[in-house]
Amino acid sequence: MTFSVDQAQGNAPVTILAIQGDLDGNNYKDFIELAKSAQQEGTKNILIDMSELIFMSSAGLVSLLNVAKMMRGEASPDPENGWDALHDIDRDRDSGIQEHVKLLNPSHKVLKILDISGMKKYFEIFTDRESAIASFG
C-alpha cells in the first residue's frame, strides 16, 4: 500500500490524496496522518482518489471519518477505540454531505462497502477527476 499527494486548482485549491492497494488496520493511521499533515500545510479541500484502492476495511472507514471531521474543524474519534470509532460513523453519518472531503473513482467493491456502512450518503462520489476538482469552492 502506498499513498501519493498531488495538488490541483479548480474554483479552489484541492489536495488529492491517492491510495494504492489496501486501506486497512495496517495503514489507516498513516492515511490519517497524511491528511493531518496536508491540513497543517494549509489544505482546505481534499479529494481522495480511490482509483487504485483494492480493499477497504472498517479501519479504512474510520480513517475517512477522521479526515472528514478534521477538515470540518471537529474533534476526530480516537482510531484506537475500534468499535467506538465505528459507532461514531453511525452517529456522524447524518451530518450531511462533506464540503471539504470528496471521493474519486471507488471500485465497485469499495463502493459497496461505502453503501453498506452508510458512508455513501456522507461523501460526494465522482467518477471524473475534473468534475470532482471543479466541485470544490
What tens digit of pLDDT does each residue of 28-69 get? 999 999 999 999 999 999 999 999 999 999 899 989 999 998
Residue with cell 494549509: 42
The count of other CB atoms within 10 Å of the CB of residue 112 is 12
Say what the pLDDT of residue 119 is: 87
Sheet containing strand 2-9, strands side by side: 2-9, 13-23, 46-56, 101-104, 125-126
Is 57 in a helix, a strand, or coil? coil
Q: What is the CATH number of the domain that holds 60?
A: 3.30.750.24
Residue range of the domain that includes 78:
2-134
**Domain total for the chain?**
1
pLDDT tops 80 at residue 117: yes
Give the amino acid at 118: G
Residue 10 φ/ψ, nearest 5 degrees:
-120, -125
pLDDT per residue as tens digits for the range 66-114: 999 899 988 766 666 655 656 666 566 566 788 999 999 999 999 999 9
